[in-house]
Amino acid sequence: MRADAVRGHLDGLLLAVLEPGPLHGYAIIAAVQRRSEGVLELRTGTIYPALNRLERLGLLRSSWQSVGERRRRCYELTDAGRRGLAAERTAWREFTTAIGSVLDPAPAPRPAT
């Protein structure tokens, strides 16, 4: 799938994969790829700026966790992030309904004879 197809939907994707609980960056990428059955492949250069922006907006919070010798930043939804995810889902449904109506219109009813 083209990378630009995700544009405008990245925030919703990130919020959705964080809904079950905290994840670090690579786990977020893997979750999107797994949920999309390999169709969506996000790059670190794409998600980290988005995660930082979502955190600045108060939709996510992050903390550092140590795993052995390595430290990694884990992200989780805030209450505002859960509300934001609900709004993203509503907007997505409206968008897909509108696009579907154009790309695959229902057949016009036949006039009665």
Output the DSSP codes for 8-77.
TTHHHHHHHHHTTS-EEHHHHHHHHHHHTTTS----HHHHHHHHHHHHHTTSEEEEEEEETTEEEEEEEE
Which residues on neighbouring strands pair with residue 74, listed in sequence order?
Answer: 24, 63
Is 22's pLDDT higher than 60? yes
**Domain locations along the chain:** 3-89
For residue 4, the model assigns a pLDDT of 65
Mean pLDDT value across residues 93-111: 87
Q: Which among 32, 37, 33, 28 has a CA at the least distance from the CA of 60?
A: 28
Going by C-alpha positions, the residue among 82, 77, 97, 15 that lies closest to residue 50 is 15
Q: Which residues contact 35 (CB under 8 A, 6 or more apart)?
A: 16, 17
Query: Is residue 78 classed as helix, strand or coil in its secondary structure?
Result: coil
- Radius of gyration in angstroms for the set of CA atoms belonging to the chain, rounded to a whole number: 18
**pLDDT of residue 7 exceeding 80:** no
pLDDT at 3: 57
pLDDT digits (tens, 9 = 90+) for 84-98: 999 999 999 999 999
> Could you tell me which CATH class the domain 3-89 is placed in?
mainly alpha
